Amino acid sequence: MRIIRNVHVRRLDASVERVRPWIEACWSGGDRDCFPRDVIPTFRQNPPGTDPGALIPGVTVLGHGPFRFRLREWDGRAWRAGFAGTLVGWHGFDLEPDGSDGPHGETCRLTHTVEIESTLSARVRWLAIAPIHDWAVEALFDRLEQALATGVVPGRSARPMSRVVAFAMR
């Protein structure tokens, strides 16, 4: 089976330890959620009686817009969530020290990857959502950089949308 693979990488002027809590807050809907939720609403669901903010592999369901994912793993370095619905695959983050020092100390590399089984219907769906996905990941990275610099996630996503993304969002 062929795979659709999409990768975004950003070097951050922060250690893995400083970035980790911001990744954990994504899809929480809280004030530390770096996903561009001012444009695409996010959610996280856990069973009743469970901490709503917890990340529990195999249990936590999270998502944005019409997309739902079930958390597969989070070990502080690798975060994986499988698609729930018609697409088969996963998306996730990898946090790695990059061995460099920036103006504020250690730096790290944050990688976001999507892998989807490449059926005909998946390829057609991916063509429709890829520009939105790419914008959302880069906007998340921008918001994360701002949060690392200031301690606060910006209220609005500053990354401009191309006409293609704006049209697809409609």
**First-to-last CA distance in the chain?**
32
With a threshold of 0.85, does the pTM exceed it? Answer: yes
Q: What is the pLDDT of residues 101-135, one digit of tens each?
A: 766 678 999 999 999 999 999 999 999 999 999 99
Residue pair 9/110 in contact (Cβ under 8 Å)? The answer is yes
- For the chain, give the mean pLDDT: 94
Q: How many CB atoms lie within 10 A of CB 46?
A: 17
**Would you state the pLDDT for residue 161?**
94
- Answer yes or no: is pLDDT of 165 > 70: yes
Q: What is the mean pLDDT of residues 42-62?
A: 95
Alpha helices (H) along the chain: 16-25, 120-150, 163-169
Residue among 164, 142, 152 nearest 35 (CA): 142
CA gap 44, 15 in Å, rounded: 26
- Sign, CA dihedral 158-159-162-166, equals negative
CA gap 88, 69 in Å, rounded: 11
- Answer yes or no: is pLDDT of 26 > 90: yes
- The neighbouring-strand residues paired with 68 are 63, 84
Q: What is the pLDDT of residues 57-69, one digit of tens each?
A: 999 999 998 889 9
- The neighbouring-strand residues paired with 36 are none
Predicted confidence band at 78 (pLDDT cuts at 50, 70, 90)? very high
- What architecture is the 3-169 domain classified under in CATH? 2-Layer Sandwich (3.30)
**Would you state the pLDDT for residue 1?**
74
**Would you state the pLDDT for residue 103?**
65
**Would you state the pLDDT for residue 65?**
86
Predicted confidence band at 168 (pLDDT cuts at 50, 70, 90)? confident
Contacts of 170 (CB under 8 A, 6+ apart): none
Predicted confidence band at 169 (pLDDT cuts at 50, 70, 90)? confident
**Would you state the pLDDT for residue 61?**
97
Q: What is the pLDDT of residues 128-164, one digit of tens each?
A: 999 999 999 999 999 999 999 999 999 999 999 999 9
